[in-house]
Amino acid sequence: MQKNNGKKECPYCSDPNISVVRALLASEFAPAVCKRCGGKSILENWLGGKYSTFFDVLFWVTFIWGLTTDQLAIFAIFPLVFIGYLVLRVKSEELHKVSDKEVLDARQWIFSNVLLVGLLIAVVAAIIKAF
């Protein structure tokens, strides 16, 4: 599936109507939806794979380097490299189909984690307020 007029092709109907930006932002929680057929799709493992460790290391190296040298411009290295990677990835990768069950599972997982974090924050706030 190739980019066509700045659009990605839907993996269900092959209609090129999914914007590159929408494809980049798509996740199992909020997949890109085809305007023609309603099919849901994402880029497969867009943050995972062989480059994940590289970006973890790059983030921490630029973060520590920036803190220890007091040069704020160093903090721009990571986002610039990361954005460049994402643009290249979204242009070269195909969208993959996502089922309604996968979307529901991802939304339930995120909802339960948000509730857990909210509960932990409330407990910590209550403890701090008690002292």
Give residue-wise pLDDT tens across range 99-126.
999 889 988 988 999 999 999 999 999 9
Q: Please, which residues have CB within 8 angstroms of residue 23's CB and are 6 or more apart in sequence?
A: 8, 32, 41, 43, 90, 95
pLDDT classification of 44: cutoffs 50, 70, 90 = confident
pLDDT at 41: 93
Q: Please, which residues have CB within 8 angstroms of residue 77's CB and are 6 or more apart in sequence?
A: 58, 62
Q: Please, which residues have CB within 8 angstroms of residue 30's CB and are 6 or more apart in sequence?
A: none
Report residue 117: phi and psi, to 5°: -65, -40
The pLDDT tens digits for 69-101 are 877 777 788 788 878 877 777 777 888 899 999
pLDDT at 48: 52
